[in-house]
Amino acid sequence: MNLGMGEITLLIVLALVLFGAKRLPEVGRAAGSAIREFKSALNNSEKPEDKGDGDI
């Protein structure tokens, strides 16, 4: 995805209008936390789990 300066500016202005300057940091923290949790869940599901039950 290739965003130019005009698109980024538009997104920032739109976020300020929708959420307001006071709630914007709170929304950003919540979004960052959700993304971190999602990536963590993806990494955990991709790793093969070694059950180690010893049956051959």
Domain boundaries, the chain: 13-42
- Residue 16 tokens, joined: 């300020």
Residue whose C-alpha is closest to residue 41's, from 52, 33, 51, 50: 33
Give the pLDDT of residue 21.
86
Residue whose C-alpha is closest to residue 28's, from 5, 12, 9, 4: 12
Give the pLDDT of residue 55.
60
Is 15 in contact with 24 (CB distance < 8 Å)? yes
Please state the length of the chain. 56
Assign residue 54 a region: left if phi > 0, alpha if psi is -120 to 50, beta otherwise?
A: left
Per residue in 6-55, pLDDT (tens digit) is 999 999 899 999 889 889 899 889 999 999 999 999 888 776 665 556 56
Q: What is the pTM of this model?
A: 0.56
Give the pLDDT of residue 45.
79
